[in-house]
Structure 1
Amino acid sequence: MTETFDEVRDLTVAGGPVRFYSSGRADAPPVLLLHGAMLDTAELDWMHVAPALAEHFRVLAIDLPRHGGSRPWPGRVDQGLLQRIVIGLLDQLGIERTALVGLSMGGGVSIGTALDHPERVSSAVLLAPGGLGARRPAQFLTWLSTRTPGVLRATTAWLARSPRAVRRSFEDNLQHGAGTPGVERAVELAQREAEQKYRHREPALDDWQALSFGPWAMRTDFLPELHRMAVPTLWVRGSADPLVLQPELDAAVAAVPGARMEVLPDAGHVSTLDQPDRVAALVREFLTEHAGTPEPGR
C-alpha cells in the first residue's frame, strides 16, 4: 500500500521487472494509468487522480521500465516494448479490455496500443500525449544531444546531486509553483527518482524520447496513422503546455473519427498536478460514457 494506491506488487512482464499498483473494487471497470517520462512515476503523476478514480473504477497503474520500482531493465526500452508490457500485463491479470489514460510518454504508449490492439482497449484519454508532429523545436540540437556520448548521463548526475535544481524545475513547470497542492511530496518523489536514475546509471531521457528523434524529423509521429483509431478517444491539453502545442492536438483530433478535445485553462504539461480535480472529472465522465459505468450517485 502507498499514499496513492491500495495494493503494490512486483511482477515480471515482457521479460523484466514491473511494479504494479491497484485500487478500487475488483469488479469495477478497469482503467490503466500510464505516466510520463524522465522523473515521472505512477505515484507522482497520479497522486491526486488515482484515488478519485478508484471510487468508480478498478484503477491499475505501473511504473514504466527504468522508473520507480521497475528496475533494472537492460537493452532498449522503445515503443514496441512498452506496448508489449501493456498487453502482457493485461494477459497476466486476465483482463480482456481496459480503458487507458496516458500522460505525455504514457499518452504515446496509449496511442500506439489503441492503434495496434483495439480489441484490448475500451477507450483512451490522452493527456498531452507524446508522439504527435513531424518536427519539434530545436530538432537537430535535441537529436545531437541524445547522440553525444556522456551528455544524458551527466544530466542524470547533475539532477541527482542538485535537489534545488529539481525543485526549481518542478515549481517553474507548475502553473501555481510552490503553491500547488501536494508540491512537496511531488518534489520529494522527483528527487528520489533522480537519485535512482543515477544509482542505476540510467540516462536522463527515456529511450522512448531519445529514439523518437531523428536529425531532421521525428521518428515517432502517430499523426499519419490516426485515421485508423477505432476506439473512443478524449484528447486533453493544458493551455499553457510548452511541449504539446495546440496545432498538434488540433491535427490529431481532426484525424481521429469521433474524437473529443478539452483544453484546460491555466494548466501546463502535467495537468494531473496542476488541475487534478478537473482531470479526474473529465476522465470519469468520459470513461463512464464508454464503459457502461453508472453515473456517481445513481
Structure 2
Amino acid sequence: MLDAASQSPRAPVPHRSPPLVPDLEDIQSGYEHLLHEERFVRGTPVRLFTFPGESVAVRRTVVCLPGLGASGRSFAPMGPLADELRLLLWTPPLSTPATHTPLQWNLAVLSHVEAGLPERFALVGSSYGSLLSIAYTLAHPERVKALVLVSPVASVHRIRRLALTLSTLVRSPKPLAYLMAPTVARVLGGPHLPPEGRAEIVREARRMSSMELLRRLRDVLAADYLHRLHELRVPTLIIQGGRDLLVPTRAARDVAEHIPGARMEVLREASHLPYMTHPQSFNNLVGDFLLHHAD
C-alpha cells in the first residue's frame, strides 16, 4: 500500500543548462579528438596537438601558432586539411622566464632543436601568433616555406588604444579577470563563435596568469615590425575578419602592402577568430594556398 507521500505528485525537476564554461579538464565536443603531446624545450613544457591518423609527409608540415591565452587546440576546426597537410598545433609555454620577454622566449623555444620541428615548414599565426610568426620568419627565413597571418599584429600604432585598455583590464583582481573571460571570448569571436569554441577560448585563457598575459600585451605594445616587413621573401597569405574589433582591416592591409607579393583575403562576416567561426571559408583559402607552397 502506498503512503500519502508516495501518492502525491513529485515536484518537477528544474531544467539546468550545461555551464557556459566547463572545467579545465572538460574538453568540448569537436576538440576532444586531438592527440596531445608535451615536449620539454629548454626546460619549458610545450603542449602540442595533432590530428589522429596523420600520415602526411614531413615536408608538408604546417605549424599553427594561436593568439593570446589560446592553445593550439583552438585550430581544431582546421581538421579537414589534415588529410593533405601535417598540422602541428603549437601551444606557447604558459609562463616565460623574467630573463626574456615572452616573444624572445617563444622565439628561442621554436628555434631550439628540442622543439622537434623539421628543417623547413609553413607557419600559420593568429593575432599574437602572427607577431611571433613574423618575428620567427625574419630571424629564420631559410626555415619558412610559406606564411599565413590571421588578424595580423605587426605594429601597435593602429591598435594602441585597445591594447592599452586590455592591459588595464588584466591588472584587475584575478576574480574579476576570471569572470570577464567569457565576455572577452565573445568580443574575440563575435556572434558566429559557437558555444564549444567560446568554452575552449575561455578555459585556456583562464590557465594563464594575469602577469603573463600583461607581459605578452607589452610585447604587442612594443611591436613595430612594419618597417621590416619588406624583408619577408616567403609566399604570404593574410586573412582578416571584416568585423574584427581588435585589428582593423586597414591595419591588416598595412601589413599586406609592406610584404612583397602578399595576398590578402577578407572574410566579411568573421571577427578575430575566422578559423573558429567560418572554418569552411578559412580552410578553402588556407588549404589552396598551403598546398601550392608546401612541397
The TM-score, its normalising length taken from structure 1, stands at 0.78
Alignment of 1:215-226 (within 5 A): 219-226=222-229
User: Which one has the largest radius of gyration?
Assistant: 2
Q: Cα deviation per residue 1:16-49 (whole Å; 9 max; x = unaligned)?
A: 11111223224251000000003x2211x21211
Correspondence for 1:120: 143
Residues in 2 aligned to 1:129 and 1:81: alpha-carbon distance in whole angstroms: 20
Correspondence for 1:158: 176
Residue 102 of structure 2 corresponds to residue 85 of structure 1: no
Correspondence for 2:261: 258
Decide which moves more: 97-106 or 124-133: 124-133
Is the contact between residue 189 and residue 198 of structure 2 (CA under 8 Å) also seen in structure 1?
A: no
Correspondence for 1:69: none
Residue 66 of structure 2 corresponds to residue 35 of structure 1: yes
Residues in 2 aligned to 1:7 and 1:173: alpha-carbon distance in whole angstroms: 26
Alignment of 1:64-143 (within 5 A): 64-66=92-94, 72-75=95-98, 76-88=100-112, 92-93=115-116, 95-138=118-161, 142=164
Residues in 1 aligned to 2:206 and 2:242: alpha-carbon distance in whole angstroms: 31
Residue 291 of structure 2 corresponds to residue 288 of structure 1: yes
Is the contact between residue 148 and residue 236 of structure 2 (CA under 8 Å) also seen in structure 1?
A: yes
**What secondary structure is seen at the aligned counterpart in 1 of 2:112?**
helix
Partner AA of 1:34 in structure 2: L
Is the contact between residue 156 and residue 194 of structure 1 (CA under 8 Å) also seen in structure 2?
A: no
Alignment of 1:139-218 (within 5 A): 142=164, 146=167, 152-154=170-172, 156-160=174-178, 162=179, 165-177=180-192, 180=193, 183-197=194-208, 201-203=209-211, 205-213=213-221
Partner AA of 2:215 in structure 1: D
Using the TM superposition, give the Cα deviation of residue 84 of structure 1 relative to its aligned residue in structure 2, in angstroms. Answer: 1.7
Residues in 1 aligned to 2:286 and 2:112: alpha-carbon distance in whole angstroms: 24
Using the TM superposition, give the Cα deviation of residue 188 of structure 1 relative to its aligned residue in structure 2, in angstroms. Answer: 2.5
Q: Cα deviation per residue 1:205-251 (whole Å; 9 max; x = unaligned)?
A: 352222332xxxxx211110011001110011111112212222222
**Structure 2: which 5+ runs fail to align?**
1-26
**What secondary structure is seen at the aligned counterpart in 2 of 1:126?**
strand
- Decide whether aligned partners of structure 1 residues 138 and 172 sit closer, same or farther in structure 2, where only a CA change above 3 A counts: closer
Correspondence for 1:295: none
* Residue from 1, 11, 18 that aligns with 2:39: 11
Is the contact between residue 56 and residue 83 of structure 2 (CA under 8 Å) also seen in structure 1?
A: no
Using the TM superposition, give the Cα deviation of residue 126 of structure 1 relative to its aligned residue in structure 2, in angstroms. Answer: 0.3
Q: Cα deviation per residue 1:142-168 (whole Å; 9 max; x = unaligned)?
A: 28x84x8xx6353543232x2xx4334
Using the TM superposition, give the Cα deviation of residue 172 of structure 1 relative to its aligned residue in structure 2, in angstroms. Answer: 4.5
* Residue from 85, 92, 104 that aligns with 1:57: 85
Using the TM superposition, give the Cα deviation of residue 169 of structure 1 relative to its aligned residue in structure 2, in angstroms. Answer: 3.7
Using the TM superposition, give the Cα deviation of residue 112 of structure 1 relative to its aligned residue in structure 2, in angstroms. Answer: 0.9
Is the contact between residue 156 and residue 220 of structure 2 (CA under 8 Å) also seen in structure 1?
A: no
Residues in 2 aligned to 1:80 and 1:104: alpha-carbon distance in whole angstroms: 17
Residues in 1 aligned to 2:254 and 2:184: alpha-carbon distance in whole angstroms: 30
Partner AA of 1:48 in structure 2: P
Is the contact between residue 67 and residue 128 of structure 2 (CA under 8 Å) also seen in structure 1?
A: yes
* Residue from 255, 269, 272 that aligns with 1:269: 272
**What secondary structure is seen at the aligned counterpart in 2 of 1:273?**
helix
Residues in 1 aligned to 2:240 and 2:120: alpha-carbon distance in whole angstroms: 25
Residues in 2 aligned to 1:173 and 1:167: alpha-carbon distance in whole angstroms: 10
Residues in 2 aligned to 1:120 and 1:188: alpha-carbon distance in whole angstroms: 34
Is the contact between residue 148 and residue 237 of structure 2 (CA under 8 Å) also seen in structure 1?
A: yes
Using the TM superposition, give the Cα deviation of residue 259 of structure 1 relative to its aligned residue in structure 2, in angstroms. Answer: 0.8
Partner AA of 2:164 in structure 1: T
Partner AA of 1:122 in structure 2: K
Is the contact between residue 25 and residue 57 of structure 1 (CA under 8 Å) also seen in structure 2?
A: no
- Decide whether aligned partners of structure 1 residues 185 and 138 sit closer, same or farther in structure 2, where only a CA change above 3 A counts: same
**What secondary structure is seen at the aligned counterpart in 2 of 1:203?**
helix
**Structure 1: which 5+ runs fail to align?**
67-71, 214-218, 293-298
